[in-house]
Every structure is written in C-alpha cells, then in structure tokens.
Structure 1
Amino acid sequence: MRGEVLPDWGWIFKEVTVTFIVMAGLVGNCLSFVVMKSKYLRVKSYSHYLCALAVFDSLVLINQQIRLVDELLLYFGKPGVWSVFTDISCKIYAFSESVCYLMSSWLIVTMAGERLLVVFFPFRRNSLVTQKGAVAVILSMFALMSYTQVFRIIMVKKVGSQCESSPRLAVYYTNLHFYFYQLTLILLLPFVAVCICNVLVVCKIKSVGRATSNSESTRFTRCSQRRHKTTMMLLTICFTYVLTLLPLVVLTFTIVIVLKTCSLDLARHFVFTLTPWKDVFLAISQVNYAANFYIYILSGSNFRIQLSRIFFKDKMTNTNSTKTREDIMLL
C-alpha cells in the first residue's frame, strides 16, 4: 500500500501535475462556455459541440481530482472518498464518470466528422450542419453512451471501502470495463476515427487552397480562407486529443500484449516497471480536457474578440462591433 512505502516518482508527478491541469482546465472551460454562448457565436452549430465539450471536460477533470484526493487520503492512512458511499451512490458515480469520459471523446469525433462534411460538401453546409442538428446529435450520443454503460448500474456496488464490481461478476465486469469500455470506446475507435477524419480534412484543405490561390474572385477566396481558419481551429482540438492520448494508447496496448504473450512473472515485472510511466501518460492525457480554451485563444481570432467583449464591453466601439459581426457571419 502507498501508506507503507515511498510512492514512485510517476505517482508524485501525476498528483502534482494533474492538480494544476484541473485548476487551469476548469477556469478555461467555464470561460469557453460563456464565450460560446455569446450573441454572435451561439448561432454556429459547432458552438453547441464546444459548449457540451466544455461541460463534459470539466466533469472529467472534477472526477479525476476526486480520484487524486482518494489516493492521497489512502496514502496518509485516512479513509478514502468512497468510504462514505453506499451501493446506490457507487452505481451512480461509476455510471456518470464513464459517460463523461465517453462524451468527451466522442464529441471530438463528432466535431471531426462535422468538419469533414463541411470541407467535402461546402455548398450543402447550411443543410448538413445546423444548430438543431447539433443538439439532436449531442442528445442522441448521450443516450447511446449511457446505454453502453448500463452494466455499471447492474454490476457495481460498494465492496469494503471501494466502489467495485460484486465478486461473483468480477470477471464479466473486468472484460466489459477493460476491453469494451477502455480499449474500444475510449481509446481505439475514437482515436482511429479522429485520425482518419483529420487526415482527409487536411488533404482536402490543401487541394482547395491550391484551387482558390488561382481564383480571381477575391470574396470567394476570403470566405474560403475564413472557413478554413475555423476548420483549422477545430482540427487543432482534434489533433490535441490524438497527441495527448497517443502515449497512453501505446502503453495500454503494450501492456495487453505482454499480459497475453509473456509468462506471469515477466508480465508482472513489466507492468511494475511501467507503472510510473503509466501515471505520467495519464497526466499528459488530462491536458486534452483542459487545453481547449487556450487553443481557442491562440487560434481563434473571433473567440478572442468575443472574450474581449465580455471583459471590456464598454470599450468596444460601434465600428469594431460592426466589423466583428461581419467577420463572424462569414465563418
């Protein structure tokens, strides 16, 4: 137990780093939600996805911080967070936590898919990408992700001071949690889908860029460039998801292969050796849930304008306001 031995360096890194990531992420996600609900950005379909992403990312960060607090309490010999839970609260927590992680991952997939439609079918974007459609997709996705995690409500209960599966269902729960939830729904499918969509979008943008560079229509070129700026901002979010998750994906699959192919003693030694790195990669993966606001700041000029409007509303002139509205409506 960590209360009896000195914790490894990876665990210490995770405890310190993730706490800072959580604080920065919660502030950024709250500001992102407020800005995306501003008058001029809330009319965009992608604003609904980004608002939902800010909510579920924040919930993921809060859940992660709760787990860090639980680990610290156990390390200092105190009762853990789950010690005050009941069977019902364990079921609700396990279910809600997994759904939040799934929504954060699959909202990224949805945005990547939407950008794919916008780039490949630009003349049908107004019919394919709508506000009502975005809301319907988010609600449908939430229902689907919730359905995939119903097994937690059935199997999870309080065992001792922890929220775990009942002993008689432990094998089934482990398979569903690890192979179906973690490997398939959290890591493999979203990762592959985002990579494919991003590669196709980038290739299409390059081909369109070459075509518009030879176009004589200045307005057409300008509108295309503005839409591509929005697309590149959303692509940056998707690539951030891929890059922050990649180390954990590789390590997880490596551990699975070792457990399946090597002897028990060798596998145990291998997993023990990689445990600090698993903590480090877990901390890196949390950047995905905290970085979106800062991506908007760096790559989204319209986001910066709307953020300035919120904090410096009285200083915005009518001329700048008119120009901002024209710029935004071109996206």
Structure 2
Amino acid sequence: MYTERNSSYNSAPLCTFNAPLFLRYVGTSVVVLGLLGNFLSILVFSRKTLRSRSCSIYFLALSVSDVHVLLGYTIETLLSYGFNSQLLSYPLMCKLIIFLIYASTDVSNYLLTLAAIDRCILVSNYSVRFRFCRKSTAKLAVLIVVLVFSLINSHILIGFHVDETGSCVTMNTTYSSFYTNYYDSYIDIVKTVLLPFLIIFICNIFIIFKYTRRIHFSMAKISSKRKSRRRREKDRQLTWFLLSTSILFVILSLPSEINDFIRPYLSSNFQIVYFCQIRACATMLILIHQINHASHFYVYTLTGPIFRKEFQRLICLSPKQPRKKDFLVHLQQPSLTLNVSPQYDLDTHQINNSRIPHSSNSSAYVSFQASI
C-alpha cells in the first residue's frame, strides 16, 4: 500500500478532485480537533473520579495511543501530500513514522478490545471479574499490548529505507513482496480489524443481552447506598462509551482496510486509467479512518453525563466535593457528641421543627445532619 501510494502521488496527473487541497483543509481540521479532543480525554480520564475504574485505564491509554496515530498520519500523509513537506525523506523519520502508524493503530484497536473484555467480565456473574477488573490488571494489560504490537511491527524498522529519489520505500524485492502481498493485505486486515472486531462484537452482544435482562430488575430495586449507586452509574456509562466507540471503530476503520486489501490486486492498466478515482477514494477512506481516532472525546461528551460533569469541573475549576476523609474528621471533633445514625437523608423541614429538644447533644446532631 505505502509504496504504490507514494509513486502514485508523485506522478499524479491533473484530476478534478484536488486531493492535496482537500487534505490541507479538511485533514488539518480533523487532526487539530482530534489532538485537542484526545488531550482533553487524557485530562478527564486522569481525574480521580474516573481513573478508579479499570475500564477508564483502557480509555486513558486509548486516548494516548490515538494521539500517536494522528501524529503519524500528520507526518506521513497530511504534511507530505497536503503541504508538500517531505519529512519522510530522512532515513530515521522514514522508519519511525511508518512503524508508529502501524504499531499505534494496532495498540488502539486492541485497547478497545480489552475494554470490551473488561465490560463483558464485569456484567457477568463470574468471580474472575474481581481479579481482572482492577486498575493493576488494566495497567499490566496495557503494557503487554504495547510491547506485543511493538514487537510484531518491528520488522518495519528494518524493512523500510529512503531510496535515491528520496522516497520512503521497502528495502528489497523479497521484503517488498512480503509487505505488499501478505503483511499489508492478509495479515494486517486480520490482525488490525477482523480479530478485534470479532472479539468486540461478541462482547457487546453479551453486554447488551445482560443489560436488557437486568433493566427491569434494576429499576425496581433502588439501593439505599449512595456510593454503590454512583459506582454502578460509572460502570453503566463506561459501557456506553465502549458500545459507541466500538460502532465507530467498525464503521470508520473497515472501509480503509478493505481498500488496502483490494488495491494490490488491481491491474496496472486499471490503476492508470482510473488513477484520479482511486486516489480520491483512498484519500477519503484514509481520512475517515483517522476520524475514528479523532472523534472519541466528542463521543464521550455526547454519551456520558459523568464525563461531561468531570469535563466541566476540569475547565471551570469547580470546588471539589466533600471527601470521606473530611467526613471522618468532622465526626472526630471533640465538641460534638453524636449518636451516629444511618438515616442521613433527613428533610430540611424536620431540621427546623421546633419540637426538637434544645439540648446540647440534639443541637449538635441537628447541626451535623444539616451540614450533610
């Protein structure tokens, strides 16, 4: 894919569709909005309220990986073909950027897969969820995914080089044949799209099935523990994040991979005759693929009230909610003699009721209930 696209752009005839101009404006907008959104997602998922969940660790790592995907796209496609800035003519940049594109794309897709597995295990009734759905396990899984796909794509660091014309191409005939006919077609589409899609699809079907069975029971059973309700609400919204990003992953990523799979089998004569149409199609599909990595923040904002709330606190610097530690310190004050009661939802009109005895202990109890 990469070698043919290089030569095609360099020897481009005049076409009705101006791909460089399209990339210059639309591609730049996608990259700028995507980088901004991913950096904001990193800040929001790093907040204490969200980072306590294992799935949030995967979404945090996904945002970091998406930043790397967009940076690789910016250098390899946007700057090269939109602004005619050939940074890939440097040998080190040639190897690193192509490696970054493949490795970070794989990492992003499998982090989303891990998030799907995490949610699937969480909604199940198996005891394994207490071992797998933890922050420490999530951090270890992220590290393993990064290492594994860095090793799988490490051959790119050896197989690519800058030729005499300054183009970043495959090094020799043997590797070029392997890369074009096998790795960038069969291996890449299975590894990058089909396998993650299959796992995510199965997990999402299981999650939806579980939630539809529990919805009536959940509405009928209202827990009195506020902390437990907040925890379940976070889990529910993280699950919606997963479902929405999974749908985007399939819709926006699969067309580009299918195009990469088909293009090597097109005859040379066909590619010459329909060059402008093929280039326009490839440009659009690559940009659509990048929208998948650029849109996650906006999907989270639209689908998650908790994410929006944390984002508002982040940008407005709103005061923090009273912590449990402050509550315990308040209990330990020597001036208060309290008979701790589990009934913390005392109505305001009951506090102001004149029939309450005006003893020191009662005043302290009422004062404490009002502060809550």
1:289 aligns with 2:299: no
Hey, what's the Cα distance between the residues in 2 that align with 1:46 and 1:158?
41
Contact 2:87–2:93 under 8 Å retained in 1: no
1:71 counterpart residue number: 81
Give the secondary structure class of the aligned counterpart of 1:22.
helix
Q: Aligned in 2, Cα 1:224/1:38: closer, same or farther, shift over 3 Å? A: closer
1:167 counterpart residue number: 172
| 1:45-56 alignment runs, 5 A limit | 45-56=54-65
2:304 counterpart residue number: 300
Give the secondary structure class of the aligned counterpart of 2:49.
coil
Aligned with residue 91 of structure 1, among 86, 91, 95: 95
1:59 aligns with 2:63: no
Question: TM-score scaled to structure 1, two decimals?
Answer: 0.81
1:268 CA drift (Å): 6.0
Identity %: 23
- For structure 1, which runs of at least 5 residues remain unmatched after alignment? 323-331
1:326 counterpart residue number: none
What are the Cα deviations for residues 238-288 of structure 1, in whole angstroms up to 9, with x where unaligned? 1111121233344445556xx2xx866457656764432232122112111
Give the secondary structure class of the aligned counterpart of 1:6.
coil
Give the secondary structure class of the aligned counterpart of 2:168.
strand
Q: Aligned in 2, Cα 1:280/1:91: closer, same or farther, shift over 3 Å? A: closer
Hey, what's the Cα distance between the residues in 2 that align with 1:254 and 1:171?
16
Contact 1:156–1:166 under 8 Å retained in 2: yes
Structure number with greater CO (CA < 8 Å, separation at least 6) is 1
Hey, what's the Cα distance between the residues in 2 that align with 1:18 and 1:191?
26
1:149 CA drift (Å): 1.0
Range moving further from structure 2, 192-201 or 175-184 = 175-184
| 1:136-155 alignment runs, 5 A limit | 136-155=140-159
Q: Which amino acid aligns with 1:294?
A: Y
Hey, what's the Cα distance between the residues in 2 that align with 1:276 and 1:252?
14
What are the Cα deviations for residues 175-195 of structure 1, in whole angstroms up to 9, with x where unaligned? 343135532222222223222
Contact 2:68–2:100 under 8 Å retained in 1: no
Hey, what's the Cα distance between the residues in 2 that align with 1:263 and 1:309?
56
Contact 2:271–2:278 under 8 Å retained in 1: no
Aligned with residue 202 of structure 2, among 196, 200, 212: 196
Range moving further from structure 2, 266-275 or 152-161 = 266-275
Hey, what's the Cα distance between the residues in 2 that align with 1:243 and 1:62?
22
Give the secondary structure class of the aligned counterpart of 2:158.
helix
Contact 1:8–1:276 under 8 Å retained in 2: no
Q: Which amino acid aligns with 2:73?
A: Q
Question: TM-score scaled to structure 2, two decimals?
Answer: 0.73
Hey, what's the Cα distance between the residues in 1 that align with 2:97 and 2:257?
25
1:133 CA drift (Å): 0.3
Range moving further from structure 2, 134-143 or 199-208 = 199-208
Aligned with residue 255 of structure 2, among 238, 247, 252: 247
Contact 2:17–2:276 under 8 Å retained in 1: no
| Off by >6 Å, runs of 4+ in structure 1 | none
Contact 1:14–1:282 under 8 Å retained in 2: no
1:156 aligns with 2:160: yes
Q: Which amino acid aligns with 1:54?
A: S
Give the secondary structure class of the aligned counterpart of 1:294.
helix
Q: Greater Rg, structure 1 or structure 2?
A: 2
Which has a greater percent of helix?
1
1:30 counterpart residue number: 39
What are the Cα deviations for residues 197-252 of structure 1, in whole angstroms up to 9, with x where unaligned? 22222222212224435x44555995756533331122111111112123334444
Q: Which amino acid aligns with 1:154?
A: I
Contact 1:10–1:279 under 8 Å retained in 2: no
Q: Which amino acid aligns with 1:237?
A: T
Range moving further from structure 2, 104-113 or 192-201 = 192-201
Hey, what's the Cα distance between the residues in 1 that align with 2:293 and 2:237?
22
Give the secondary structure class of the aligned counterpart of 1:121.
coil
